[in-house]
Structure 1
Amino acid sequence: MKTYEFTLILKGFSELTEDIEDRLFEAGCNDALLGLRGGIPYLDFEREADSFLAAVLSAIEAVHAAGVAKVVRVEPEDLVSAAEIAARTDRTRESIRLLYEGQRGPGGFPVPLNPSSKTRLWRWTEVERWMGENGLLVAEPGETSNIVAAVNGALDIRRNASPQEARDIVIHLLPVTVDRIMDPTIMMMRSATSKGYRPHRSAHNPARETGQQSQLERSTTTFN
């Protein structure tokens, strides 16, 4: 098993309380750091699992089992600005501008989602794939980007569509049989439990972001 790092952005509370911490811990979020960033709650995970997907889905399942919050999205976010692309690829903003304007590189940079907007946004999965194919990445494209995009898409469907609408979307857009279709996130979550997630209580590194934080990891005697 490997340890995977990711962040879940939550909604459902705006203050940290001992009750919230306890319920998240007891539900299986003992390998996460709970915090607030601009009043928005989040959990920074370091989760051991057989795969990144299993780690993320089991974490979402644990949060929802706690009954105190819903998961809004997984980070690192798939939608990125030119500045974020520069940061993720260790390039300057000017270098990225020249690439997407076609003044440098092989051309064919992914089209932004909002080309008429002053602040353009791209899908990181598309940018990462294009840069990897053209030898412009320092490291090989990781396995996590596509998974984050897919899980966030499923979360969007569940949040914005009725159960029947979600079924219709999955039936028409995904290659799965009808008898396997249910709420997209729940469908993926249930598969995660069979893919080797194992909770652990190892020491957690300091949070990557500043803000109000509370360590969920405690000794196992706390809840005995």
Structure 2
Amino acid sequence: MTVYPFELHFFGPPGDHVIDELYEAGWDDAVINFEPSTGGEGSAIFDREAPSALQAVVSAIRQGRKAGVELLGATEDYVTLTEIAERTGRTLSAVDHWATGRRGPGDFPAPRVPRPRVSLYSWAEVTMWLVQHGLAAMSPEGVEIARICEVADATLRARRLQNRLAEAEREALNLAVA
């Protein structure tokens, strides 16, 4: 089996019992960052052994729900151009040329968080682009966990937002996008 690294964000009530319940539910392979005296938002960084990235993330989400926390999202790994260069074994100059379109096949993923000095890119989008164009050797597991975390994050956020709607609104929206 493969070990998949990922991060989940959650909201938990105050109390020391929360961390114990998460551990008992199966989060014994995670480093949990949560302030039990006040409750609120927390995060868990996993190194989960599983047959697939999907099974790793899904099992952690189910265990978190079993423990009574509200899952807020999965970290979609945001990276700088420097981090992309480090992860791919390329120079910063080469990655900058891909991002600006001066070299390579073009259509490099747009930054998710554009900033004047250091923008942040979706690692999931970048890995898929690199693999599609054969520009870097990426482990299939790395591509898989990036892709699954991107979708899991969007799904968790969408579910949380849908819960803010009235039942009729939620049903109409679900029918429209089905």
TM-score w.r.t. length of structure 2: 0.73
Distance 2:172 2:49 in 1: 34
Looking at structure 2, the residues matched to 173 and 61 of structure 1 have their Cα atoms a distance apart, in angstroms, of 25
Partner of 1:150: 151
Partner of 1:215: none
Q: SS of the residue aligned with 2:129? A: helix
* Structure-2 residue corresponding to 1:93: 92
- Does the residue aligned with 2:33 lie in a helix, a strand or coil? strand
Counterparts in 2 of 1:166 and 1:111: CA distance versus 1, 3 Å: farther
Q: What is the CA-CA distance between 1:121 and the residue it aligns to?
A: 3.9
Q: Give the C-alpha shift of residue 108 in structure 1.
A: 2.5
State the partner residue of 1:42: 43
Q: Mark the CA change 1:2 to 1:126 in structure 2 (over 3 Å): closer, same or farther.
A: closer
Residue 136 of structure 1 corresponds to which residue in structure 2? 135
Structure 1 residue 44: Cα displacement: 2.5
Aligned to 1:102: 101
Trace 1:209-220 onto structure 2 (pairs within 5 A). none
1:22 to 1, 20, 23: 20
RMSD (CA atoms): 3.1
Structure-2 change in CA distance of 1:70 and 1:86 (3 Å): farther
CA distance in 2, matches of 1:47, 1:10: 17
Q: What are the ranges of 5 or more consecutive residues in structure 1 without an aligned counterpart?
A: 175-224
Distance in 2 of aligned mates of 1:51 and 1:128: 17
Give 3-state SS (helix, strand or coil) of 1:55's partner: helix
Instruction: Return the alpha-carbon distance in structure 1 between the equivalents of residues 12 and 92 of structure 2.
Output: 36
Q: Is the 8 A contact 1:157 1:166 kept in 2?
A: no
Q: State how far apart, in whole Å, the 1-side matches of 2:52 and 2:105 are.
A: 34
Task: List per-residue Cα deviations over 1:21-80 (Å, max 9, x = no partner).
Answer: 22112223233232359x96322223343322122112111112212x3222223x2444
Amino acid at match of 2:103: R
Same amino acid, percent of matched pairs: 35
| 1:131 to 1:47, Cα distance in 2 relative to 1, 3 A | closer
1:8 and 2:8 matched: yes
Letter in 2 for 1:72: L
Cα distance change on mapping 1:8 and 1:113 into 2, 3 Å: closer
Q: From the superposition, tell whether residues 78 and 48 of structure 1 become closer, same or farther in structure 2 (CA, over 3 Å).
A: closer
3-state DSSP of counterpart to 1:71: strand
CA contact (8 A) 2:127 2:138 kept: no
Which structure carries more helix by proportion? Answer: 2
Answer 1 or 2: higher relative contact order, Cα 8 Å, separation at least 6. Answer: 1
How many equivalent residue pairs? 168
- Contact 2:32–2:42 under 8 Å retained in 1: yes
SS at match of 1:34: strand
In the alignment, structure 2 segments of 5+ residues that lack a partner are none
Describe the shift of the 1:137–1:30 C-alpha distance in structure 2 as closer, same or farther (beyond 3 A): same
The CA deviation at 1:143 is 1.5
Check conservation: 2:12, 2:41, Cα contact below 8 A: no
